[in-house]
Amino acid sequence: MGGRGIAIGGGGIGMLVLLVAALICGVDPRQLLNGTQDTTQIGQPPVAGNTTARQPDQNREFASRVLGSTEDAWGQILPQQARRRYTAPRLTIYEDQISSACGYTSSAVGPFYCPGDQRLYLDFGFFDELARQFKAPGDFAQAYVIAHEVGHHVQNLLGTMDKVQRSGNNSRLSVALELQADCYAGVWANFAQKQGVLETGDPEEALKAASAVGDDTIQRRSQGYVVPDSFTHGSSQERMQWFARGMQSGDMRQCETFR
């Protein structure tokens, strides 16, 4: 689970309420937006000019901090809201290519979660691409991508991923799975905001990232037209809407994307 489609505080609540209202009323929120921790590093030597590759320790520290925050959040949320104990995924940071329980993968896939080994795999080159090509920079945009993958881990713990996989190649269920992971990322963001972790502008960064990796946005950039029947992760509008719903409510039970 993962790939380019997902991957990924203060004043934030007011903006979030405005964005949710815009979504409900059918306004494109982008109009508003415009005006534990077992880490491994493999692959080729850093390429000159690639800032993320030149600072692997900082990348590892950042990812570990975000993952620690998700562990704190889901360690409380999952027992309270789903009566399940939370066990954290492990983190692997890689460059270029990696072999996991889900097979051999290149960095072209982007961040992904593998249910077979319950690991989250990150190539920080994706975040450079997110900032440069998709115009969604910022630490919290990156944190959103990580939290989305952790959302898949939560789905794995609850058996949701297994049910979807057993259903076969169903694009509707695939989209629902991804949108639920976006909503779970929003639930984590709600917890982080209550803990005083978020800064001004953080929710907007996450919503920009969610919009940037919508299937329609990616298809329009890559081929010039949109094919809704081929969606695997949901439209930009849907991804923003479900993240916003999770962040507004803080309730994973509000993330019923399969209905």
Of 6-15, 97-106, 164-173, the one with minimum mean pLDDT is 6-15
Strands 103-106 and 97-100: antiparallel
Mean pLDDT lowest among 19-33, 51-65, 82-96: 19-33
Helix (H) or strand (E) holding 255: none
- The residue ranking higher by pLDDT, 197 or 186, is 186
Q: What is the pTM of this model?
A: 0.77
| Tens-place pLDDT, residues 8-26 | 222 232 333 333 434 433 4
| φ, ψ of residue 253 in degrees (nearest 5) | -70, -10
SS3 121: strand
Helix axes 202-212, 12-24, angle to 10 degrees: 40
- How crowded is residue 37: how many other Cβ atoms within 10 Å of its Cβ? 15
CA–CA separation, 41 vs 60, rounded Å? 9
The crossing angle, in degrees rounded to 10, of helices 171-194 and 56-82 is 100
Cα 226 to the chain's mean position, in Å?
22
Domain boundaries, given as residue ranges, for the chain: 12-254
- For 57-85, how does the pLDDT look when each residue is reduced to its tens digit (9 = 90+)? 888 899 999 999 999 999 999 999 999 99
> What are the tens digits of pLDDT across the range 196-232?
877 777 778 888 877 777 777 777 777 887 787 767 7
- Which two structure tokens, joined as six digits, stand for 126? 């994706």
